[in-house]
C-alpha cells in the first residue's frame, strides 16, 4: 500500500507537466513559433540536440505552460491546414 501511495504522489506531481510536454512536441512547431514563445517568456527557447523535458523544467517553462500550450495548439492547427 505504501508503494502505491508513493507512485500516486509521483503521478500527481507529474500530471500537470504533461500538457506542456505535448504542446512543445506538436507537429508544425516552426522557428516562428519558438520565436513567439521566446518573446512571451522573455528568454530564448530553441530546441537543439540537448533539448529534453528536464531542460524545459530547468528553464522554468512550466511557469509559462499557458503560453507554450497556446502556441503549440496554434502550430498544430496551422500544420493541419
Site of grid cell 500538457: 19
Question: Which pTM was predicted?
Answer: 0.82
Round to whole Å and give the CA distance between 42 and 31: 16
Q: 79 is written with which cell numbers?
A: 500544420
Q: Does pLDDT of 5 surpass 90?
A: yes
- Contacts (Cβ under 8 Å, ≥6 apart) of 46: 34, 38
Opening angle at CA 63, ends 18 and 72, nearest 5: 55
- What is the percentage of the chain residues whose pLDDT exceeds 70? 100
pLDDT tens, 34-52?
A: 999 999 999 999 998 888 9
Q: Residue 71 has what pLDDT? A: 96
Q: Residue 59 has what pLDDT? A: 92
Q: Residue 1 has what pLDDT? A: 87
Q: 35 is written with which cell numbers?
A: 520565436
Amino acid at each position: 500500500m505504501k508503494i502505491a501511495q508513493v507512485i500516486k504522489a509521483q503521478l500527481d506531481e507529474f500530471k500537470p507537466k504533461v500538457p506542456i510536454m505535448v504542446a512543445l512536441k506538436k507537429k508544425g512547431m516552426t522557428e516562428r513559433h519558438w520565436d513567439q514563445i521566446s518573446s512571451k517568456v522573455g528568454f530564448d527557447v530553441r530546441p537543439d540536440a540537448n533539448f529534453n523535458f528536464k531542460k524545459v523544467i530547468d528553464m522554468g517553462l512550466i511557469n509559462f505552460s499557458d503560453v507554450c500550450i497556446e502556441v503549440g495548439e496554434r502550430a498544430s492547427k496551422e500544420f493541419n491546414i
